[in-house]
């Protein structure tokens, strides 16, 4: 609770020069007045505070040593020992200048709910602050989890009724066609209690598959962790991939969760997942791959860098920072270097040959020349 506006320092005032028309007496009086006003120069208006208000009458100015009285504002109460006074000091400031003697009123004490607790997140339950309600394990909250203590006309009041905690219970989970679940005779389930589903034997040759979560639990009040699974016949169509072949998962029928892996023929590349499985809707998941013709593109058809948004467009005539251009430039540089190396090499070779002719004897020269 700090002062909302810091005490203001009064500049020397009421220090008017004496009027020249008053004569000697006037000058004397003026000098005295000047002296007095400089020495006893007053304080300006006493400071305003967030938590306390002035009860002394407001005056045009205050003498040094004068005191003003405050009281705690509405919604605050006083605790000693700090006083509710401030004095006009010699240095034109008010001292002490604090409202720390006034404390905020509190709301009614928020008791822990049965099977839960109140958390004092701000460390206080006075107005302007909040408390949180929590329930113990296996219980759920009814009402507002956050209550704020608010200052109203009648004083500090809570923003809502206190929350209550109730036991988490679930009604029996759904019954399903062609299947059943465990604990089918239980009428009420408690928190985290679970049931497991299973499918009946099928009347025909095609078995039922349990599609979905086998085991579900009471996760919240009247809320099971998942939907009930389904018992149904799942048959996926024979998987055919043009220009490709199956490499594992062979079979005549493909029932729930059957896995098949493919490979593309020579000269074709795989587009999609090489492994698919038979999903609960009798479709392959993910969908069957494709085998388009050609080598697999190494870097997929990406627009050139210069077409990306935000990339500055290369100016005409200036080196285009395109991949292909760089390759060409590199090739030209390599070619120039190769030619240079060859020329230098040849030159050196010929030089040495010329020099060598002086050193070797006739017979050797014969050999060299004939070999040329």
Of 61, 78, 95, 191, the residue at the interface with ligand NAG (CB under 6 A) is: 95
Smallest gap from residue 280 Cβ to ligand NAG (A): 6
CA separation for the pair 346, 350 (Å, rounded):
6
Smallest gap from residue 65 Cβ to ligand NAG (A): 11
Residue 65 binds to ligand NAG (criterion: CB under 6 A):
no
In 3D space, the residue among 185, 205, 204, 203 whose CA is nearest the CA of residue 195 turns out to be 185
Residue 6 binds to ligand NAG (criterion: CB under 6 A):
no
In 3D space, the residue among 56, 27, 30, 32 whose CA is nearest the CA of residue 43 turns out to be 56
DSSP characters over 136-177: -TTEEEES-SEEEEEEETTEEEESSPPPEEEE-EEPPPPP-T
Of 53, 89, 263, 320, the residue at the interface with ligand NAG (CB under 6 A) is: 89
Could you tell me the two tokens for 74?
């509405």
Stretch of residues binding ligand NAG (CB under 6 A), selected from 16-24, 41-49, 122-130, 251-259: 122-130
Residue 193 binds to ligand NAG (criterion: CB under 6 A):
no
Is the Cβ–Cβ distance between 276 and 254 less than 8 Å? no
Taking CB under 6 A as the criterion, which residues in 261-290 touch ligand NAG? 271, 279-281, 290
Of 100, 130, 193, 263, the residue at the interface with ligand NAG (CB under 6 A) is: 130
**276 bridge partner residues:** 260
Could you tell me the two tokens for 238?
């024979």
Is the Cβ–Cβ distance between 10 and 44 less than 8 Å? yes
Of 49, 76, 127, 129, the residue at the interface with ligand NAG (CB under 6 A) is: 129
Judging by DSSP bridges, how do beta strands 67-72 and 52-54 pair with one another? antiparallel
Distances (CA, A) of 229 to 213, 280, 310: 6, 10, 50
CA separation for the pair 76, 37 (Å, rounded):
39
CA separation for the pair 251, 86 (Å, rounded):
96
Residue 297 binds to ligand NAG (criterion: CB under 6 A):
yes
Residue 228 binds to ligand NAG (criterion: CB under 6 A):
no
Rounded-to-5 percentages of helix, strand, coil across the chain: 20, 30, 55
Any idea which residue has 């149904």 for tokens? 232
CA separation for the pair 38, 364 (Å, rounded):
122
Stretch of residues binding ligand NAG (CB under 6 A), selected from 48-56, 63-71, 88-96, 325-333: 88-96
Smallest gap from residue 224 Cβ to ligand NAG (A): 18
Stretch of residues binding ligand NAG (CB under 6 A), selected from 125-133, 182-190, 198-206, 351-359: 125-133
Stretch of residues binding ligand NAG (CB under 6 A), selected from 63-71, 123-131, 176-184, 228-236: 123-131
φ, ψ of residue 328 in degrees (nearest 5):
-60, -45
Of 19, 38, 40, 91, the residue at the interface with ligand NAG (CB under 6 A) is: 91
Stretch of residues binding ligand NAG (CB under 6 A), selected from 14-22, 121-129, 180-188, 199-207: 121-129
Q: Please tell me the count of residues contacting ligand NAG according to CB under 6 A.
A: 17
Beta carbon nearer to ligand NAG, 158 or 189: 158
Smallest gap from residue 130 Cβ to ligand NAG (A): 5
Beta carbon nearer to ligand NAG, 104 or 181: 104
Beta carbon nearer to ligand NAG, 116 or 289: 289
Of 28, 121, 335, 339, the residue at the interface with ligand NAG (CB under 6 A) is: 121
Residue 122 binds to ligand NAG (criterion: CB under 6 A):
yes
Burial class (CB in 10 A: 0-12, 13-18, 19+), 317: exposed
**181 bridge partner residues:** 197
Binding site for ligand NAG (CB under 6 A): 89, 91, 93, 95, 121-122, 128-130, 271, 279-281, 290, 292, 297, 300
């Amino acid at each position: 609770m700090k002062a909302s506006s810091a005490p203001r320092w009064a500049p020397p005032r009421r220090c008017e020069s004496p009027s020249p028309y008053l004569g000697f007496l006037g000058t004397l009086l003026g000098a005295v007045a000047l002296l007095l006003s400089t020495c006893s120069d007053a304080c300006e208006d006493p400071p305003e505070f967030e938590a306390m208000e002035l009860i002394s009458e407001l005056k045009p100015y205050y003498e040094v040593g004068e005191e003003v009285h405050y009281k705690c504002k509405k919604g605050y109460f006083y605790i000693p020992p700090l006083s509710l006074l401030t004095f006009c000091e010699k240095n034109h400031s008010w001292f002490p200048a604090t409202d720390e003697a006034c404390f905020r009123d509190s709301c009614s004490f928020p008791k822990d709910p049965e099977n839960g607790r109140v958390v004092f997140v701000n460390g206080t339950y006075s107005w302007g602050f909040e408390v949180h309600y929590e329930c113990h394990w296996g219980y759920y909250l009814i009402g507002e989890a956050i209550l704020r203590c608010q200052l109203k006309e009648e004083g500090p009041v809570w923003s809502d009724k206190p929350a209550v905690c109730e036991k988490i219970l679930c009604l029996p989970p759904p019954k399903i066609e062609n299947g059943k679940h465990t604990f089918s005779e239980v009428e009420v389930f408690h928190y985290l209690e679970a049931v497991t589903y299973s499918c009946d034997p099928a009347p025909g040759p095609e078995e039922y598959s349990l599609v979905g979560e086998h085991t579900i639990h009471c996760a919240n009040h009247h809320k099971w962790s998942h939907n009930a699974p389904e018992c149904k016949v799942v048959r996926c169509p024979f998987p055919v991939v043009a220009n490709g072949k199956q490499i594992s998962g062979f079979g005549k029928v493909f029932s729930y969760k059957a896995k098949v892996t493919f490979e593309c023929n020579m000269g074709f590349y795989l587009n999609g997942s090489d492994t698919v499985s038979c999903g609960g809707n009798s479709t392959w998941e993910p969908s069957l791959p494709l085998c388009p013709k050609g080598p697999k593109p190494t870097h997929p058809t990406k627009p050139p860098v210069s077409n990306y948004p935000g990339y500055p467009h290369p100016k005409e005539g200036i080196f285009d920072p395109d991949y292909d251009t760089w390759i060409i430039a590199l090739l030209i540089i390599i070619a120039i270097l190769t030619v240079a190396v060859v020329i230098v090499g040849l030159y050196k070779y010929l030089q040495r040959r010329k020099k060598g002719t002086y050193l070797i004897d006739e017979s050797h020269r014969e050999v060299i020349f004939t070999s040329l």
